[in-house]
Amino acid sequence: MLDIKWIRENGERLQAIADQKGMEVSIKELLEQDEHKRALLLQIEPLRQARNKLSQDINLLMQTGKLEEAEQGKQTVKEWNGELAGLEKKLAAAEQACKRLLHQAPNIVSPDTPVGRSDADNVEIRRVGYPVRLDFKLRDHVALGELHDMIDIPRGVKTAGSRNYYLKGAGVLLHRAVQQLALDLLIRKGFQPLEVPLMARAEALTGTGFFPLGEDQVYAIPDEERWLVGTSEVPLVSYYSNEIVDVAEPIKLAAASTCFRSEVGSAGKDVHGLYRVHQFSKVEQVILCEASLERSEELLQEITGNAEELLQLLKLPYRVMSVCTGDMSQKTYKQYDIESWMPSRDSYGETHSSSSLLDFQTRRSNIRYRDAQGKPRYCYTLNNTAVASPRILIPLLENHQEEDGSIWLPPALRPYMNGVERLVPPGGPVHNEASV
């Protein structure tokens, strides 16, 4: 959420940003409602003051025996109260309209964010590693999962519907291994791990910018006024809602959690395998820092670097993309996507995302710190997906497959896989390494 004073002075600029982000929001309507609200306040405040003054005068008149004048005053107060009731009703409606429209307004975007309409307009920043070109017949991650009896999608669909799955055996171990590797990496870099709620109230989702515009992506829990979170970013940021915090050093939080997304609007998109599913697990990194563009940019590069380090440990080729305006969410100021090479797609696929949000979330969540002069200011927030599984299993299995169906495991994963160096299909060839 932005400062309404700033919006009053930059309405046209903000509307242009909304248009670039592909958002259907009217900044003009917001400013009209804001003007209407302020006009009502100009009527209400003097009338309230006059009523309160007259009420005090009536008490004095009663004490001095001037009963007739006191009765006239009471009649006037009654009339003013009736007038105020009508104005305050209009004010409440105007305030609600302003709040609704303010929650729909976008965050500003960084000067170096490319302008574009979709992910096709994202700009490649750098590429690390080389796409794998196999000299044997490729198996995609689903075929590899079936060969190793580690992925069962038909039974997942039978049990829970489309975009659901079971992981079995080595699939479960890999799923947990990549998460623990990511979490251990973040802990070494000073992040505080938290176990977080997977359900949240509407205030938490609104405070972090996922409501109202993203409500159709979230699973509701009927009759409880709670929702299943699609990322631990929600409970991590909300941990400090309505508090004044110390950001002399950035607050670095991390969580490994199950996430749920309805994927409304993605019908027919990426339906094969594990790329786009309703339930997944994610290790998230969240940072709260002082309101400094320079510091937040440093931290954005840091959390992006953490995700890159994870991919390098997994020996996966990837590229970093600067996300354009049309592919950004409402709340994002600047964003990088990291795409890993997926042989079965013969292209890169998004596996990580890093975002800088400035004070968009903290204004909504009321998270502040005191600056050098002791003045309360809103913090800046940043977030990044350190790893998301099972999507990361797609490049992990496909890039490291061997002709006989075995899957080589990067050294960094082996301590989390009981020392296993290679996964061998059940009944398949033995390469003198341990197998699971």
Give residue 436's pLDDT: 40
- Span 130-134, mean pLDDT? 88
Amino acid type, 220: A
Residue pLDDT, tens place only, 335-379: 999 999 999 999 999 999 999 999 999 999 999 999 999 999 999
Q: Is position 233 annotated as part of the catalytic site? A: no
Measure Cα distances from 211 to 27, 28, 104, 283, 391 in Å: 18, 21, 9, 22, 25
pLDDT at 141 > cutoff 70: yes
Given 339, 391, 398, 422, which residue is catalytic?
A: 391
Nearest Cα residue to 3 out of 352, 362, 300: 362
Catalytic residue among 281, 296, 344, 353: 353
Residue whose token pair is 């309360």: 376
pLDDT of amino acid 433: 43
pLDDT value at position 271?
Answer: 72
**3-state DSSP assignment of residue 251:** strand
pLDDT band at 389 (very low <50, low <70, confident <90, very high): very high
Query: Which member of 284, 308, 350, 398 is catalytic?
Result: 350
Residues 24-34: pLDDT tens digits?
999 999 999 99
Please, are residues 167 and 150 in contact by the beta-carbon 8 Å criterion? Answer: yes
Averaged pLDDT, 151-173: 97
Q: What is the pLDDT of residues 243-265, one digit of tens each?
A: 999 999 999 999 999 999 998 76
- Which string of DSSP letters, residue by residue, matches 193-218? E----SEEEHHHHHHTT-TTTTGGGS
The pLDDT assigned to 435 comes to 38
Cα dihedral 408→413→418→421 (10° resolution): 20
Neighbours of 230 (CB within 10 A): 22
Nearest-angstrom CA–CA distance, 338 and 335: 10
Mean pLDDT computed over 126-132: 94
Active site residue 257: no
Per the annotation, the verdict on 296 as an active-site residue is: no
Residue 430 has pLDDT above 60, yes or no: no
Q: How far apart are CA 61 and CA 67, in angstroms?
A: 7
The model's pLDDT over 35-85, given as tens digits with 9 standing for 90+, comes to 999 999 999 999 999 888 888 888 887 878 788 887 887 889 899 899 999
**Distance (Å, rounded) from C-alpha 234 to C-alpha 237?**
6
Let me know if domain 119-423 sits in CATH 3.30.70.940: no
CATH of 4-104, one of 3.30.1370.110, 3.90.420.10, 1.20.140.10, 1.10.287.40: 1.10.287.40
Note the pLDDT tens digit of each residue in 270-313: 778 999 999 999 999 999 999 999 999 999 999 999 999 999 99
Catalytic, 350? Answer: yes
Structural domain boundaries of the chain? 4-104, 119-423
What mean pLDDT, rounded, does the chain reach?
94
Query: Comparing 4-104 with 119-423, is the CATH topology the same?
Result: no
List 176, 201, 226, 276, catalytic entry: 276
Model pLDDT, residue 268? 62
Catalytic pick from 139, 163, 261, 363?
Answer: 261
Strands 243-244 and 367-370: parallel
Known catalytic membership, residue 353 = yes
